[in-house]
Amino acid sequence: MSKKRLGLRQVKLLFAKLVLTLFLLSIVWVLLYRWVSPPATLHMIKRRAEAGAAQKGEPAIKYKFVSLEEMSPQLPLAVVTSEDQLFLIHHGFDFHAIWDAFKRNQDNKKKIRGGSTISQQVAKNVFLWHGRSYLRKAVEAYFTMLIEVLWGKERILEVYLNIAEMGDGVFGVEAASQKYYRKPAKALGRQEAALLAAVLPNPIKYSVRNPSAFVRGRRSRIARAMGRLGGTTYIEAILPAKAEK
């Protein structure tokens, strides 16, 4: 065998080993977060860095991970209603929403709309960097499939409710509940949960503490939709205990 062929074979073998190693590491990483609360996300670190560049001293990132049992059932209902009503039945992707977002973005390239499911948002925020490259979207799809298989819907929703930004540097429902309502996430009612969900599309622009007319209207629409879906019965299959409707 020539040196050239031998060298090419070694490169291919090295590449195969690298791919296998990355695959196994990704499995271990995802499985670890199946039971262990993420200490932080890349988005939290980025937000801390951005805030640190704008002011002196280390900015506070408010984040406290709590279980679904420690949340009002109105909270998972509110985010499913506002962000992904097919969450319980899809396998990580809502292809109709993705195609609809693609068509809308072709018509209006200045205002980009997303078609991401809750599962995709968790994959992006927990494991990846933010961006719009095809490479990042491909890796996002890979991690989305992994968490759908290895975590299940209950854990995906639990993590989402803890790592979603709900204000400037405020991550998760417990931190948001304490900051805006001065009570634990377990004690929130439908209107309060709907307001937190209402700011999710842009938690820097939209405010829970001083909601604009747009945010108040969005809260009302979410709260009404929560009722039309049947209340917490809509998500009772993934609630840790039977919720009061």
Tens digits of per-residue pLDDT, 138-166? 999 999 999 999 999 999 999 999 999 99
Write the CB contacts of 119 (distance below 8 Å, at least 6 apart in sequence).
84, 87, 90, 92, 93, 144, 147, 148, 156
Q: Looking at the domain that runs over 39-238, which CATH code has it been given?
A: 1.10.3810.10
Q: Is the pLDDT of residue 135 over 70?
A: yes
Name residue, tokens 């109709």.
Answer: 96
Q: Which of 21-35, 106-120, 230-244 has the lowest mean pLDDT?
A: 106-120
Q: Which has the higher per-residue pLDDT, 74 or 1?
A: 74
State how beta strands 170-171 and 62-63 pair. parallel
CA distances from 49 to 43, 53, 66, 165, 202 (A): 10, 6, 25, 15, 19
d(CA 16, CA 77): 43
The helix (run of H) or strand (run of E) holding residue 170 is strand 170-171
Its pTM surpasses 0.75: yes
d(CA 195, CA 193): 5
